[in-house]
Amino acid sequence: MSETRIEELIGRSNRLGADPRNTNYAGGNTSAKGTATDPVTGEDVELMWVKGSGGDLGTLRAAGLAVLRLDRLRCADVQARLAAVRLDRHHLVQHRFVQHHFVRNRR
């Protein structure tokens, strides 16, 4: 399932970033949640793939995504450290995909 989820995230990100009226270059963040097999334990784990600030939505590829384990993000100690980071908010939203971006001033 993870490959499909990654492809969906990249497609959504690329469509959002393709129109300069929607986002500034290197602006916006997108993420997707899903499961994948942990290569060490062989068990399924919940993951979140994130396109963070600084990369371009319109040209995003899989190599530009960070992969995070949701169980580790949810622990209280990590919550305290991530309090000021936007990434913190993505895993709290209960949707598979999260997108937020800055819209250009259209004056």
Structure-token match 């060490």, residue found = 40
DSSP string, 12-50: HHHHHHHSTTT--TT--EEEEEEEEE-TTT--EEEEEEE
CB 16 within 8 A of CB 107: no
pLDDT at 2: 76
User: Is 2-100 in CATH node 3.40.225.10?
Assistant: yes
- Tokens in use for 56? 């371009």
Q: Which residue has the higher pLDDT, 86 or 60?
A: 60
Compute the mean pLDDT over every residue in the chain, rounded to the nearest whole number: 78
The answer to pTM > 0.75 is no
What confidence tier does 70 reach under pLDDT thresholds 50, 70, 90? confident
Q: Which residue has the higher pLDDT, 93 or 39?
A: 39
pLDDT at 81: 64
Overall average pLDDT of the 18-42 stretch = 84
Q: Is the pLDDT of residue 29 over 80?
A: yes
**Burial of 52 per CB tally in 10 Å (0-12, 13-18, 19+):** middle
